[in-house]
Amino acid sequence: MTPKEIKQDFESAITKHVLFKVKARSFLYGNGYAEGPLRDPDQCALGHWIAERRTGAYMHVPEMAILDAAHRRLHRDAAVLMDHRLAGRLDAAAAGLPAVLVQAEGIAGILRTIERTLRTEA
């Protein structure tokens, strides 16, 4: 892949990630979204992106395993907050949101690091 193609690919991943954050936050504030893609890292758009690249174009990048693990933790922790919301524990859901958003920023950072590495290699 060219550096430009890599940049575009990672911009797509970041967009998928931002949409997850928006949907998760919205769910916690009472707007309904399909729970599957919010709870299950294998159903969300970024999860699909990771799975495809981890066994394909970026399989040589060790940080992809770190990204996958962080992504799975994020979904696990978001699901806990969703459970709080669904059980009517709105304060617990809101209280946990900042930590989940910090995790989400960490994922964005991992994506940017992998992108820089790949563009440097290209």
Domains of the chain, with CATH numbers? 3-121 (1.20.120.30)
How high is the pLDDT of residue 57? 93
How high is the pLDDT of residue 5? 96
> How close are the terminal C-alpha atoms of the chain, in Å?
7
How high is the pLDDT of residue 117? 94
How high is the pLDDT of residue 49? 98
CA distance linking residue 96 with residue 81, whole number of Å: 7
How high is the pLDDT of residue 30? 87
How high is the pLDDT of residue 87? 96
Stretches in the chain below the pLDDT threshold 50: none
96-114 tens-digit pLDDT: 999 999 999 999 999 999 9
Q: Which CB contacts under 8 angstroms, 24+ apart, belong to 28-31?
A: 28/81, 28/82, 28/85, 28/93, 28/94, 28/97, 30/85
